[in-house]
Amino acid sequence: MTIYIDPPAWPAHGTLFSHVISDASLEELHRFAAGCGLSERAFDRDHYDVPAHRYDSLVTGGAVPVSGRDLARILTGCGLRVRGIERTERVRRNLSRAWHRLMPEAPGLGDGLLERWSEPHRSYHSPTHLAAVLRTIGVLERAGELPVPLRRRTLLAAWYHDAVYDGAAGEDEEASARLAEEQLDGLIAEEEVRDVGRLVRLTAHHAPEEADITGTVLTDADLEVLGRQDFAYRRYAEQVRSDYAHVPSAQFAAGRAAVLRRLLEHPQLYHTATGRELWEAQARQNLTAEIRRLTGQE
């Protein structure tokens, strides 16, 4: 693992700025920044912005100088680069449009949900995750896994499934389900409200019945991240660790490894045919590799 810095060449606030990155781990990057006295406010999703007068001290502290082009190449190659489409401001704009298409009669409700998803203590459970779940539901719908009449309730459940996020497994899902039932009451049919609440509660254990069409689509969309390529999965794991930064490292590693082992015990991680075809094999590789990292076997 190496920390890299490019030359100060980016103008802002009357000076020039460098970028500081890690080629392997955001956790490592944050440790380096803290050790050098960099403010957390200087972190921008995948790098730290540092003013020109700090360049020499950061190099002395261990950052390896590279060109701006090489720094971008390294960041992309290790999988930590956050693309423009994933930037918070663009994600929020796209989500606002998606909510307007889904519930044009309740724009304020969507704004309130986006505020919840954008709470500062969230890292993985953020608007980017919501956007990914909505996008994956679309993938599964186009593959024939979700009939059009069931689409709205599934998308609403996605919007609400982490609307309450305090890091309390099970309790958060229950609170999110109750919020959905309260806020959607009177806006959509009573049966649909009940089903949205049920679907949100399903995301606490991701074990829908085989015949539960909406449940299988929502839980597969929520777990799609497990089946991404290795570098993308590692970024997800880093973000989960950040969400639980208040938990001591040894305790987190033990608890996280136990959760991953339970997932691997399932005969299948995904419940739609499309999910199994697209993500099952890679997800099992990713979970196994993370357990090895957490238990010091790698």
Local confidence band at 296 (pLDDT 50, 70, 90 cut-offs): confident
Secondary structure (3-state) at 4: strand
* Terminal-to-terminal C-alpha distance of the chain: 14
- The helix, strand and coil proportions of the chain, stated in percent and rounded to the nearest 5, come to 60, 10, 30
> What pLDDT does residue 26 have?
84
- What does the alpha-carbon distance between residue 49 and residue 219 come to, in Å, rounded to a whole number? 37
Distances in whole angstroms, Cα of residue 97 to Cα of each of 85, 90, 92, 142, 255? 14, 11, 9, 20, 38
Per-residue model confidence as pLDDT tens digits over 168-225: 778 999 999 999 999 999 999 999 999 999 999 999 999 999 899 999 999 999 999 9
> What pLDDT does residue 178 have?
98
Local confidence band at 46 (pLDDT 50, 70, 90 cut-offs): confident
**Do 275 and 140 contact (CB within 8 A), yes or no?**
yes
- What does the alpha-carbon distance between residue 253 and residue 279 come to, in Å, rounded to a whole number? 24
| AA letter at 116 | R
> What pLDDT does residue 58 have?
95
Structure tokens at 53: 């007068």
When pLDDT is averaged across residues 223-245 and rounded to a whole number, the result is 89
pLDDT over 60 (residue 50): yes
Angle at 143 between CA 140 and CA 148, to 5 degrees: 70
Instruction: For the chain, give the mean pLDDT.
Output: 92
- What does the alpha-carbon distance between residue 45 and residue 27 come to, in Å, rounded to a whole number? 12
Secondary structure (3-state) at 34: helix
Class of residue 166 by CB neighbours under 10 A (exposed 0-12, middle 13-18, buried 19+):
exposed
**Do 126 and 118 contact (CB within 8 A), yes or no?**
yes
When pLDDT is averaged across residues 245-261 and rounded to a whole number, the result is 92
Q: Which helix (H) or strand (E) holds 298?
A: none
When pLDDT is averaged across residues 39-51 and rounded to a whole number, the result is 87
> What pLDDT does residue 161 have?
97
* Domain range list for the chain: 3-81, 84-151+162-170+203-298
User: What percent of the chain is predicted at pLDDT more than 70?
Assistant: 98
DSSP-derived secondary structure letter, 16: E
> What pLDDT does residue 83 have?
67
Per-residue model confidence as pLDDT tens digits over 97-106: 999 999 999 9
DSSP-derived secondary structure letter, 3: E
What phi and psi, each to the nearest 5 degrees, are found at residue 266?
A: -65, 135
